[in-house]
Structure 1
Amino acid sequence: MNLSTVEQPALESEIEELEGRYSSSNPRSRMQLSMARRVLPGGNTRVALYYDPFPVSIESAEGSRVIDVDGHSYIDFTNDLTAGFYGHSNPFIVAAIRGALDNGISFGGPHRHEEALAETICSRFSSIERVRFCNSGTEANLMAMGLARAITGRPLVLAFLGGYHGSFANYLDVKTPLNVDKSWLRFAQFNDEEDVRRVIEEDGAQIAAIIVEPMMGSGGGILARPGFLTALRAIADECGALLIFDEVQTARFFPGGLQDQVRVRADFTTLGKSLGGGLTFGAFGGRADLMDRLDPSRPGAIGHGGTFNNNVLTMIAGQAGLTKVATAEALHAANTRGDWLRRSLLSAAGERGVVLSIGAFGSILSLHFQPIAPRNPAEIATTPAQRKLFHLDMLLRGFYVQRRGTINLSLAMTDEDCSAFTEAFVGLLDRYSAFLPGDNTRCKDGSHGS
C-alpha cells in the first residue's frame, strides 16, 4: 500500500535530514562536482552515475571496496553497473595488463590475442560460432540490429518497453532524443507473448529482428518468465526474423550466459561490461553463416570497422578474466551468495512488516518496495522518494549502491560483505519502516536462484 498524504510530509522531512547529513559528510565530493561542472556538462560524462544532491567522487578502489575523496570506504554493491564483476584490481587481470604494456598498446594489425579471446568466447557460448569485437555493449547491440536488417532485407526491429541496449537504444524512455532508428522500431511489453504476437500480426513481414534481454537489468532486474524466451524463438522462426539476446549483463551468470540455462539458442548474442576485464569492451556473435557476412575476403561483404575493436589491452585483460577469474566455480559461488542475500533481505523485511519484492537472478538483485515483483517495467511501483531514502541511508552506512535499487555482487565480495549489507538494511528498516509500504501481505519473491 502507498503512504498516506499525512505521512508524505514526514517522509520528505526525513529525506531532507538525510541530505543534510550526506552533504556535511562529503564536502570534497560536493566541491569536486562544482569544479567538474566548469568543463563537463553536469560535472560528469555518464548520466547513470549522477544523483542529487551530488554523487560521491571516487578516489580509488580495491577488491570489494571503493574509497571516495572524503576518505570514506564503502563496500561496493554497484560494481560499475555490472562492469566491475571481477572486483577492483583483480591481481590476475592487473598482471596481464602490466605484462601487455611492455609490448605495445596499439598494434594497428591483427594479433594472436584477439584470436585467443574469440576462441574462449566461442567455446563458452554455445550459440556463438563466430564473434566480432567492438568497444561497448551499445555498439554491439547497434551492430547486431544493423546486421540483422542487412541480412534479412527488412527494416524493422521489435524491442521491449523498458529495455536498455545502450545509450542510443534506450527504451526505458522510447522518446529519448538520442535514440537512433526510431521510425524502424516496434515495441511490445516484456513477458507478454500476446503483445508480441500483436506486433507481429501488424508488421511481421517487415521485422528483421527481435532484441531482448533475458533479464532486464536497467529496467528493474526483471527475469523473463518461464517459456517467454522459448516463445520468442518460435515467433522469430515463424515470421522469418532473427533473435538477438542482449547478454551484456546476464553473461555473468553462467559460462555460456543465461541463454544456456534457459536452453534457448539465439541467432545473435551481444556481450560487454565485465567480459573485457574491466576495460572498454563489446562483442557480438552468433551463427557462422550470419557472422560470415562480415568476412572481408568474400564478395559482397558487409563492412565493419573500429580503430579499437581489437585493442590489445582489452583482449589480454578479457582473456585473463574469462580463463582465470570467471570460472564456472566462481560464477556459481557468486550466484549462491546472491541467493543468500536475497533471502536475508526478504526475511528482514517480512519480520518488520515492510513490503518488499526482489527481481533477481543470482548475483544481480533489484529491490522493489511493493508486494509482488514486477513482470515488466510498467508494474514498478516503488516511488522516487523511497528510492532516495534507501540510497542515501545506505551510502551513509558505508555501502555504495545505486539509487535505482539494483545490487550487483562482484567476485571479490565475501559472505561477510553480504552479512554486513543485511545488517545495514535491517538498520534502515528499523529506522524508516513507517515510510515504506507495509501491510499483512506476505513478501513475495519474484526472483530465481542459480
Structure 2
Amino acid sequence: MDIDQDSTSPLHTLRQLAPITIDSEPKLQAWKDRQIEHYIHSNPRSRAAHTEACTYLPGGNTRSNLYHEPFPLTLVSGHDCFVTSLDGDELLDFVGEMTAGIFGHSHPRILNAITEATRNGISLGGCSEKEVQLAKKITERFPSMQRMRFCNSGSEANTLAIAVAINYTGRKKILVFQNGYHGGFLNFGASAPGKSTIPFEWVMARYDDVASVKQAVEDNSDTIAAIIVEPMQGAGGAIPASTDFLQFLRYIATQIGAVLIFDEIITSRLHYHGLQGQHGIDPDMTTIGKYLAGGFPFGAFGGREDIMAIMNPETGFSHSGTFNNNVFALTTAIEAADILEPDVMLRLNSLGYRLKRSLQRLLEDCVPIDVMWVTGFGSVLGIHFGGLFKELLQECFFFFLLNSGIYYRKSGMCSLCIMHTKQHTSRFESAIQAFLQALDEIVRS
C-alpha cells in the first residue's frame, strides 16, 4: 500500500470479533500456514542467505532476538523509517532497532558526524575532549548522573553499575524483577534468570508490586547491594511502572542502604530527562545506551559523586575498554544529543500517544480485552495477545504484518522514530484493522 493512498483516512468501524473457541484452532493454524507459505514464496533470497549463514553461525545470526522460523528477513539498506530486504521489498519499520533507531535510517546529520569522525583518526588510543563534551550534555539531561563512565553497550553499563554497587556497599545480592531485561547477560523470566545471565546473587520480586518488594527486602535487607529496575519494562512488554511503585523503591533503597539503579537504556528516550524526570524521582545510579550514539555501539553508567568515586583509577577499581571512548561513538553521540531537543521528543511521544489511543479505541470496540491489547508509554508500544491461542494469534499477526509490508517484532514491541509521521502510523493502524477483519472472517468461516 502506498503511504499517500488512504493513509490518513479514518479507520472503518469493525464488527465485534467472533468468539475464538477450541473449534477455531484448526482454522487459525491453517491461516498461519498460509501466511508463512506466502512469506517463504516472497523472500527466496532471504531464505537462501539464512541457509548459507547457518553454515557459519549458530542459528544463522549473532542476535538471538532476530531469529524466527522459518527464517528472518535479511536487510540490505534503510532510509528514513523504511528498510529494504534482500528480495527488494521496502517495509515500513516499526522495529526501530529495538528502540535504538530513534533517528531513523541514515539521518543526514548523523551521516555528517560520521564523516567528521573519519577525518582526524578513528581510534587514537588516548583521552579525548569529546568525552567531556558528551558528559556535559548527558548531565544536562540527567542531573542525577553527577559522574559517569562510558562503555560499549547497555549490557555493559548495567553489569558495571551492579559491580559498582557491590563494591560500594560491600554486599552481594541484587534485587531484580520478573520479566526484567537489562541486557544479553542480565535477563529474567517469570521465575528465574535467563540461561545466559551472569550468576550474581539474585533476589527476584514481581514488577510494579510493592507487597512483593516488601517481602523480598524483609528476607534479605542486610545483604541487598542494589535494586535495578526499568521504569518501563521494555522486552517484558512495554509495561510502565506506576509512580507509587518507583517512589517506594526510592524509599526502601534508602532505608536499607542499597543503591537504586534506574535502567533507562530504553526509557531515557521517553522524556528529555528520562522517566526519572517524568516521575520526579532521583535514582542513585542510571544506565543509558541504545540510541544515544545515533546507531553506534554505546553505553554509559553514572550517578552520585560518592558512589562513582569508586571508578577513579586511584581506588584500584579497574574499568578498561579499548572502545569506551572511540571517536565514532563520541562524535555521533554529541550530534545525536543536539538533534534530540525537548520539542523533538515531545512531538515523537505525541505521535506515539495518538497511535496508542487509536489502537485502544479500535480494540475496545471489537476485540475482547483478554484477546488483544496495547500497552506502552510515548514512542514505545507493546501489542499483546492472550486467551486460548495466544502464541498462534501472535504468529498470525506477525506474518500478516510482514506480508503487508510492515517490519515488526514478533514479541510485540513497537518503536517509533523521529522520521515517522501520522501518515506512517495511519498505515500501521490500517494494517492492524485489516488483520482483525481477516481474523474475524477466518473464525466465522
The TM tier, using the shorter chain, reads over 0.9
**Aligned-partner SS, 2:101:** coil
Instruction: Give the 3 Å change call, closer, same or farther, for CA 257–65 of structure 1 in structure 2.
Output: same
Q: Please, which of 61, 81, 87 is the counterpart of residue 78 of structure 2?
A: 61
Alignment match, 2:195? 177
CA distance in 1, matches of 2:86, 2:264: 34
Q: Please, which of 356, 362, 377 is the counterpart of residue 378 of structure 2?
A: 362
Q: Please, which of 322, 329, 350 is the counterpart of residue 337 of structure 2?
A: 322
Deviations 1:180-218 (A, max 9, x none): 124x11000001111111111111100000000000000
User: Contact 1:352/1:433 (CA < 8 Å) preserved in 2?
Assistant: no
The one-letter code matched in structure 1 to 2:262 is: F
Query: What does 1:95-106 correspond to in 2, within 5 Å?
Result: 95-106=112-123
Alignment match, 1:49? 66
Q: Which runs of 5+ in 2 are unaligned?
A: 1-17
Alignment match, 2:163? 146
After TM superposition, what 4+ stretches of structure 1 lie above 4 angstroms from structure 2? none
User: Contact 1:368/1:382 (CA < 8 Å) preserved in 2?
Assistant: no
Q: Which has the higher contact order (CA 8 A, sep 6+)?
A: 2
Q: How many pairs were matched up?
A: 424
CA distance in 1, matches of 2:271, 2:209: 25
Q: Please, which of 266, 271, 291 is the counterpart of residue 254 of structure 1?
A: 271
Alignment match, 1:349? 363
Percent identity between matched residues is 38
Deviations 1:368-427 (A, max 9, x none): 235xxxxxxxxx987211111111001111110000111100111111100111111111
CA distance in 1, matches of 2:209, 2:442: 33
Q: How many Å apart are 1:350 and its aligned residue?
A: 2.9
**Aligned-partner SS, 2:295:** coil
CA distance in 1, matches of 2:34, 2:431: 18
Alignment match, 1:406? 413
The one-letter code matched in structure 2 to 1:357 is: W
Give the TM-score, by structure 1 length: 0.91
User: Contact 2:363/2:373 (CA < 8 Å) preserved in 1?
Assistant: no
Q: Which runs of 5+ in 1 are unaligned?
A: 371-379, 437-450
**Aligned-partner SS, 2:221:** helix
* 1:229 is the counterpart of 2:246: yes
Alignment match, 1:304? 319
CA distance in 2, matches of 1:47, 1:221: 19
CA distance in 1, matches of 2:150, 2:415: 25
CA distance in 2, matches of 1:161, 1:203: 17
Q: How many Å apart are 1:327 and its aligned residue?
A: 1.0
CA distance in 2, matches of 1:134, 1:285: 11
Q: How many Å apart are 1:434 and its aligned residue?
A: 6.0
Q: Please, which of 352, 369, 394 is the counterpart of residue 338 of structure 1?
A: 352
The one-letter code matched in structure 1 to 2:333 is: G
Query: What does 1:17-166 correspond to in 2, within 5 Å?
Result: 17-166=34-183
Alignment match, 1:425? 432
Instruction: Give the 3 Å change call, closer, same or farther, for CA 187–390 of structure 1 in structure 2.
Output: same
Instruction: Give the 3 Å change call, closer, same or farther, for CA 27–432 of structure 1 in structure 2.
Output: same
Alignment match, 2:423? 416
CA distance in 1, matches of 2:309, 2:50: 47
CA distance in 2, matches of 1:284, 1:301: 18
CA distance in 2, matches of 1:318, 1:354: 44
Deviations 1:11-59 (A, max 9, x none): 1111001001111001001011001111111100001111111111101
Q: How many Å apart are 1:433 and its aligned residue?
A: 3.1
The one-letter code matched in structure 1 to 2:83 is: V
Alignment match, 2:9? none
CA distance in 2, matches of 1:227, 1:301: 39
Query: What does 1:208-247 correspond to in 2, within 5 Å?
Result: 208-247=225-264
Deviations 1:348-385 (A, max 9, x none): 22333454321110000001235xxxxxxxxx987211
